[in-house]
Amino acid sequence: MAFSTSASRVSLSFECRSDSNLSGAVPRPDDARFSRNLNTASGKAPFGMCSLILRFPPNFVRQLSNKARRNCSNIGVAQIVAASWSNNQPPSSAAAAAKAVDAAASSAVSVPIAAGEDVVDNSKGLGLCNDSKFVQFEAVEDVHKPLILNGDGSVAIHAGERLGRGIVTDAITTPVVNTSAYFFKKTIDLIDFKEKRQVSFEYGRYGNPTTEVLEKKISQLEGAESTLLLASGMCASTVMMLALVPAGGHIITTTDCYRKTRIFIETFLPKMGITASVIDPADIAGLEHALDNHKVSLFFTESPTNPFLRCVDIELVSKLCHAKGAVVCIDGTFATPLNQKALALGADIILHSATKYLGGHNDVLAGCVSGSTEIISQIRNVHHVLGGTLNPNAAYLIIRGMKTLKLRVQQQNSTAQRMAELLEAHRKVKHVYYPGLKSHPEHELAKKQMTGFGGVVSFEVDGDLTTTIKFVDSLKIPYIAPSFGGCESIVDQPAIMSYWDISQSERAKYGIHDNLVRFSFGVEDFEDLEADVLQALEAI
């Protein structure tokens, strides 16, 4: 239950009730911290003899002891006074302070209640009990006035939070709401919810206030109507496909992609009669052939791809697919929303493994899909059945990580570009794969649809499996690990990290040679990374 005494401030949502364990005015008159603020000129408490405990929303109240809640009561009443002061000249006496409170109370709606009746009403404002009446502070509309945020960096920091969030609090950081379910006060409230006259998350799998803040932030950054957060990037990919491709449907995807995505398309979807056409990322003729010869439901690819960083002409592909009624989903994990706006280029859905750049600290697993409300609602409905829910603590970590998204990506873009150029010129490197290089097959396309080329560089060392292992082991700064996009640099040899379970000849079919290295540059100083890579190359 929210209250407000000015158009510029809203305090915590809470309720009040009487407490038989307390007597007299609230707080104690002998408490110097509060007596000046709350006592009237006559020395009596402005709210009479009815002691108050301010009850926070159910996800908080169970974690508070009775004593802690009494303290919260004092804080809440003090906020009323402070809010009144903010619209007037600072009072010079206790009487002036009391006058401000009385003015706020007299301007509110007074509603009589029967003896013993619960004065709490979640649909209105804060009830302050005074004998047989309570004061209702009406909530003002749109207290979070829109800010002018033109830059992606500002949007990544403030969207979904300063621009307005469902959790009403004065805290700068978004609270973590740890709850698995949400209660209804009366059965009629449940019926209103079921008939869509009232809004609730109902159950933890269907949503969470903390997660919703992150969804709004990503939506604004991507220019999307809606975003759905899931437990991982793979969860986002699989749920999206299951939601949008009917049994017996057809998918078009590309040769270069994350291996686990390929496994799902090749081994799981056929069980539902779903077939796939696999084309080169630049093969427009192959795309048109597949569209003409199949009833295609979905075109799905990464851009840039993993691990060769191939780029798809998103605008052209979207135009061709839409003409045939197919939905276009781009996995933009390597690009990030800062380097590429896939929805603006014509795609219907943008997907991310938020584990990577969005989280940015190698400490959380998450995935997301963004697009129109209509399409994301279809995916959301399947998600509600399958699960794969993102924990609110993980959502908080990503919200925190996104505050520095622009700073991190700018540094990673710069480092990767300079390292790609250095590696391409080195005698012990056979080939470098990076969209920022003129030698990349889609360099001109990348320049057209990207504003930065990302922090991952793939390259082939001049040597065999053993030589490449020696290079990787000689590096001092990066971790040998999967994943990418974090503050720490990470290096891996795909032939071992991702494809070790299949033969060398099978790996070669996907272009995965034993000397291939994928290097994700973090935010370390460029000079340190440069020296480390050069010494490791000299060691082979």
Region 396-415: mean pLDDT is: 98
Q: Which of 71-75, 139-143, 270-274 has the highest mean pLDDT?
A: 270-274
Q: How far apart are the first and last CA of the chain?
A: 67
Q: Which one of 335, 368, 403 terminates a domain?
A: 403
- Tens of pLDDT, residues 268-306: 999 999 999 999 999 999 999 999 999 999 999 999 999
Marked catalytic residue, from 9, 36, 124, 205? 205
CA distances from residue 18 to 67, 104, 131, 243 in whole angstroms, order as listed:
14, 21, 11, 50
- Is residue 272 located within the same domain as residue 333? yes
Band of residue 71 on the pLDDT scale cut at 50, 70, 90: very low
- Only one residue has tokens 């804080």, namely 75
Q: Which one of 371, 403, 435 terminates a domain?
A: 403
More confident residue, 98 or 332: 332
- Is residue 421 located within the same domain as residue 354? no
Report if residue 369 sits inside a domain. yes
Region 114-132: mean pLDDT is: 39
Backbone angles phi and psi of 228, in degrees to 5: -120, 125
Q: How far apart are CA 113 and CA 11, in angstroms?
A: 24
Region 140-156: mean pLDDT is: 64
pLDDT at 149: 78
Band of residue 164 on the pLDDT scale cut at 50, 70, 90: low
Question: How does the average pLDDT of the chain come out, rounded?
Answer: 80
Region 157-172: mean pLDDT is: 70
- Is residue 209 located within the same domain as residue 254? yes
DSSP designation for 267: I
- Is residue 526 located within the same domain as residue 414? yes
Q: Is 356 a catalytic residue?
A: yes
pLDDT at 163: 52
Report if residue 120 sits inside a domain. no
Q: Is 17 a catalytic residue?
A: no
Q: Which one of 403, 425, 447 terminates a domain?
A: 403
Question: Helix (H, G, I), strand (E, B), or coil: what is residue 189?
Answer: helix
- Is residue 268 located within the same domain as residue 163? yes
Is residue 457 scored above 50 in pLDDT?
yes
Q: At what angle do helices 233-244 and 373-386 cross, to 10 degrees?
A: 110
pLDDT at 150: 81
CATH number at residue 387: 3.40.640.10
Strand partners, 279: 254
pLDDT at 159: 80
Q: Is 510 a catalytic residue?
A: no
Q: Is 507 a catalytic residue?
A: no
Residues 353 and 232: beta-carbon distance below 8 Å: yes
- Is residue 365 located within the same domain as residue 463? no
Marked catalytic residue, from 152, 313, 331, 514? 331
- Tens of pLDDT, residues 480-523: 999 999 999 999 999 999 999 999 999 998 999 999 999 999 99
The domain of 177 spans 154-403
Band of residue 68 on the pLDDT scale cut at 50, 70, 90: very low
- Is residue 374 located within the same domain as residue 485? no
Is residue 97 scored above 70 in pLDDT?
no
Is residue 387 scored above 70 in pLDDT?
yes
- Is residue 426 located within the same domain as residue 535? yes
Residues 37 and 81: beta-carbon distance below 8 Å: yes
- Is residue 346 located within the same domain as residue 415? no
Listed in sequence order, the residues at least 6 apart from 282 whose beta carbon sits closer than 8 Å to its beta carbon are 310, 312, 313, 441, 442
Listed in sequence order, the residues at least 6 apart from 398 whose beta carbon sits closer than 8 Å to its beta carbon are 214, 354, 358, 359, 364, 366
Report if residue 132 sits inside a domain. no
The pTM for the full model equals 0.72
Residues 241 and 272: beta-carbon distance below 8 Å: no
- Is residue 396 located within the same domain as residue 416? no
How many structural domains are present in the chain?
A: 2
Residues 81 and 66: beta-carbon distance below 8 Å: no
Band of residue 148 on the pLDDT scale cut at 50, 70, 90: confident
Question: Helix (H, G, I), strand (E, B), or coil: what is residue 406?
Answer: helix
Report if residue 136 sits inside a domain. no
- Only one residue has tokens 């169970």, namely 62
pLDDT at 299: 98
Marked catalytic residue, from 182, 258, 357, 433? 258
Report if residue 113 sits inside a domain. no
Strand partners, 277: 252
User: How many other β-carbons are positioned within 10 Å of the β-carbon of residue 343?
Assistant: 23
Marked catalytic residue, from 165, 216, 356, 408? 356
